[in-house]
Every structure is written in structure tokens, then in C-alpha cells.
Structure 1
Amino acid sequence: GGTVTGLSRCFAERSPATEIVLADPAGSVLAAAVAGRPLPAAGSWLVEGIGEDFLPPILDLGRVRRAYTIGDPESFATARLLLRREGILAGSSTGCLLAAALRYCRAQREPKRVVTFACDTGNKYLSKLYDDDWLAAHGLAGNEETPPR
């Protein structure tokens, strides 16, 4: 909660027209909070480092305009696509953020400048995200065949 809260406050001061969009792993409760829906029972997800199963006291979602729920298959496939197409070795949370940014871009009717973050390196995930056997064991193998566009 601290990252989105801090960034949204910073952008509100320096660039008020900037839209803040949240990427939330499927199973987390944050997207429901942004949409004003009742919080679902928290699930589980394999993307590491983002998402919440409760609303932390520090969290301020008041400036977040929309949220995209991104499942583990899309997050992992997007991170692997980033490596294949751009040579950027990033982690699963970066895959989640990039997948949400791509969804946001596809929903726009006119060109916009969109910024996202590569918030983790893939070095820590060589035995998970970049291990085909681990992906297969977790039902995530083969998702690269239909990457997000």
C-alpha cells in the first residue's frame, strides 16, 4: 500500500492530470476496494511482492482511478514476454504491472503517454518464473503462446 499511496500523492502534487492505475494480482482485495465493491475473501497468488489480503492503514486509494485484476498466468507470461522481446529480466510483479499497463493502453481511444515500473529483477526468480518445470508444476506452462498484445 505504501508504494501506490506515495506515488499517487507525489503525482497529485506534481502532475495532477496523471491517472493512477493499479495492477492487482487475482486473489488480492485491492481492485475491489478501488471499484468500491465489498472486499472479497482473500485468495492466493503466485506473483510476489504486490497485492494485499487486507487494507493496510497506510493505504490511500483515493487517487487511484481504476484497477486491473491480473491473474498469475498473464503476469508470468508477460514477464517472460518482456525478456523475449526486450531483453529485460524482470520478476512476476513487473509482469503484473506491465500486463495492466497493456490492458489500459488497449482501452484508450486516443494516444496517451503511459508509464509503468520494472520494480523487481528476475534474478531472484530463475528457479520459479524462468523455470519451465516449476511453471508446469503450478499450471502455468504454455502461457507464452498467447501473450498479451
Structure 2
Amino acid sequence: MRRWPLSNVWLGVSAEDQRRADERVPHLLATPAVVRFVSAEPLLGPVGLTRWSGLEGDGDTMGFGLDWVIVGGESGPGARPMHPDWARSLRDQCTAAGVPFFFKQWGAWAPDEIGPEDIRSVEFPPGHVEYLHVGKRAAGRKLDGRNWDEVPA
């Protein structure tokens, strides 16, 4: 019989906000896996992951912490915008800890610097970031001018 963790099994949880991260990440970390990841999509609120081993700045996850973080906005009917600072925060947490970060997409809404001016927009929160409803293809996947395609080695 094979021993865990199997070399071809990557385990992950979805964590769209801090409440879900607090509920799910401890269960993920308690399960043997070669790679453990958090998929923060659709990202609907700020998420702090630094309390869990591997995102505390030591850059050494070697089977006991988080090995990868994926971030993306919401798409489809009724999609809600993702604040750019939420994605930036997760990117910065990962960068500081040496954990690969993958930015998948903005979703149906993009910050105003990405889209044309003649498209429906909303401010979120009011008076702060203006978002344009452009659809996920037009919104793209650049965060601060670049694609983030990092994956575990």
C-alpha cells in the first residue's frame, strides 16, 4: 500500500474571505499532501494567510504550510467586483514568504485603469475604487501591470 502523501496529489481549499479561510485552511494543513494550496476565488473580501505556517516570511513550506495561492475575481451573472487591494495583499504576503502566487483573473469587473470609459461603472466602496463591468475576457489577468503565473516547483 502507498504511503501518504502521494507525489501526484495536490490538495486545496477555496477561501473567498477571511471567515472561509479561518474555517478551511486548518483542515487543509492537517491533511498530508505534497502541495497544499488556497484558491481565493472568487475573492470577496480581504484575506490574511500569514498566521499559517509557510506564510510567516521564512519561505520554507516543505510539506507543513501553504505551498501556493491562487487569486481571482468573480465572473458570470451577478458577479461582484474584487477590490485590487485584496489581491495585492495576498500577492505581497506570498512574495514575503516565498510562496508562489497565481493571479487568475479580475472576473467580470475590472478596476477603471484597465477598461474603456464608455462602459458601466460603479464605485466600490463608494468614493474609492471605480470598477468597470467589462466581462472576464476584457478585464484580463494583469495585476499591477504584469501576469502572475507562479506555480510550485
TM-score normalized with structure 1 length: 0.31
- The structure whose RCO (Cα within 8 Å, separation 6+) is larger is 1
Which structure: greater strand fraction? 2
What TM-score comes out, normalization by structure 2 length? 0.31
Greater helix percent: which structure?
A: 1
